Amino acid sequence: MTLTLTIDTRAWRDHVKHVHEEFPGLVPVAKGNGYGLGLDVLAREAERLNNDCLAVGTAHEVATVREAGWSRDVIVLNPWRPFDETATALLDDPRVITVVSRLTDLDELRTAHPGTRVVVELMTSMRRHGITPQEIASVDAGKLGFEGWTMHLPLKGQLSEAKQLASEAVAHQRGAVWVSHLGVNDYRRFRTQLGVQTRMRMGTRLWLGAPQSLRTTATVLDVHRVTRGARYGYNQSRAPRDGWLVIVSGGTSHGIALSAPSPARSLRQRGVSLAQGVLDAAGVSRSPFSIAGRKRPFAEPPHMHASMVFVGGASAGVEVGDEIPVTTRQTTTTCDELVWN
């Protein structure tokens, strides 16, 4: 009765090892739900790679990776803020590196927490966090443990932007440069041309870059014959035609049907959005559960731990106990069980 993620261990680890070797200075990222694998799993896998540093998203995640056995350096990617008590409690930890993205915060840490290991974040075209290029000249780390500069580039990172920002920063104060989202060739050029140590933070490409090695399945829990007009579910909806209600494991607590909102940019994406809009208007919402090679519609919105899907026709195509494929977004899905094959 579980939502299960099955990992082809050899294929997955071969991919992780290959990417790790392609990017010298790579720092694995373990944050959120651990890319569907769990923070504890990623911490142990980073240990297998013999990494010297692991990146987490928030200060709260430091304890989780340490409980999994990680004892080396940890960099917290969320910039420090004075109201974050958990992050503040880690400032004097010699194994924790803190990201600073505002001059006021840097001034406060320099005064109140000398010795804290910090990297200073630079504002990129992402425009999320960071000091501006005009503020670089005002950066004064004082007696802080200055570990370098960091920047978070857009998904298709631009080498020119990275080089420009890094050059200005390193000219002011030399230190390692931490980057993200550069391709292999761009990173190699960046690494050789800059003249300082470089670190590549990586999560999605490292852990989820071999999707063929990850397979999510749900268990069929019940199968019920229904006739057209029969009522079912919390909302007492009516069956649109004769068919079957198939109850499967996996619901809102697992992240089923969650997705990141994104605008349709290509003609194909717009066509998909239009088709989905027509289905929504007709009261039909396609589920991620596949039966007999087709994704079946939700009979109603997912429940907490299970979902109801509708299969029309004379046969349900499945029996209780069968395992069926589920299309999931790994960063929003938490499975009950991980199986390493």
CATH number at residue 323: 2.40.37.10
Task: List for the chain the helix, strand, coil content (%; round to 5).
Answer: 30, 30, 40
- Is 205 in contact with 331 (CB distance < 8 Å)? no
Answer yes or no: is 3 within a domain: no
In 3D space, the residue among 153, 201, 278, 215 whose CA is nearest the CA of residue 31 turns out to be: 201
Distance in angstroms between the alpha carbons of the first and the last residue of the chain: 19
- Distance between CA 76 and CA 79 in Å, rounded? 7
Residues 281 and 300 occupy one common structural domain: yes
Tokens at 260, concatenated: 């990141």
Residues in the chain with pLDDT values less than 70: 1, 157, 259-284
> How distant, in Å, are the alpha carbons of 27, 199, 237, 248, 288 from that of 224?
50, 55, 15, 12, 20
> How distant, in Å, are the alpha carbons of 81, 90, 181, 208 from that of 203?
24, 23, 10, 8
Residues 198 and 265 occupy one common structural domain: no
Residues 109 and 220 occupy one common structural domain: no
Q: What is the pLDDT of residues 139-166, one digit of tens each?
A: 999 999 999 999 999 887 689 999 999 9
- Is 256 in contact with 333 (CB distance < 8 Å)? yes
- Distance between CA 334 and CA 322 in Å, rounded? 20
Answer yes or no: is 305 within a domain: yes
Q: What are the DSSP calls for 135-179, one per residue?
A: GGGG---TTSEEEEEEE---SS--HHHHHHHHHHHHHHS---EEE
Q: Which pLDDT score, from 0 to 100, does residue 264 have?
A: 52
Q: Which pLDDT score, from 0 to 100, does residue 274 have?
A: 38
Residues 318 and 177 occupy one common structural domain: no
Provide the whole-model pTM.
Answer: 0.89
| Domain carrying residue 321 | 212-340
According to DSSP, the residues that pair with 217 across neighbouring strands are: 4, 325
- Distance between CA 145 and CA 272 in Å, rounded? 51
Residues 74 and 201 occupy one common structural domain: yes
Q: Which pLDDT score, from 0 to 100, does residue 66 have?
A: 98
Q: Which of 209, 244, 269 is the last residue of a domain?
A: 209
Tokens 């299969």 identify what position? 311
Tokens 């890094």 identify what position? 166
Which sign does the torsion angle of CA 252, 256, 259, 265 carry? negative
- Is 311 in contact with 222 (CB distance < 8 Å)? no
Beta strands in 203-257 (DSSP E): 214-226, 231-232, 237-238, 243-249
**Residue 302 burial class via C-beta count within 10 angstroms: exposed 0-12, middle 13-18, buried 19 and up:** buried
Q: Which pLDDT score, from 0 to 100, does residue 265 have?
A: 55
Residues 138 and 279 occupy one common structural domain: no
Query: Domain holding 94: CATH number?
Result: 3.20.20.10
Contacts by 142-146 with C-beta closer than 8 Å and gap 24+?
A: 142/110, 142/114, 143/110, 143/114, 143/115, 144/106, 144/109, 144/110, 144/113, 144/114, 144/115, 144/116, 144/117, 144/118, 145/115, 145/116, 145/117, 145/118, 146/118, 146/119, 146/120, 146/173, 146/175
Q: How many distinct structural domains can be found in the chain?
A: 2
Residues 247 and 165 occupy one common structural domain: no
> How distant, in Å, are the alpha carbons of 1, 48, 139, 161, 309 from that of 20?
36, 11, 32, 24, 41
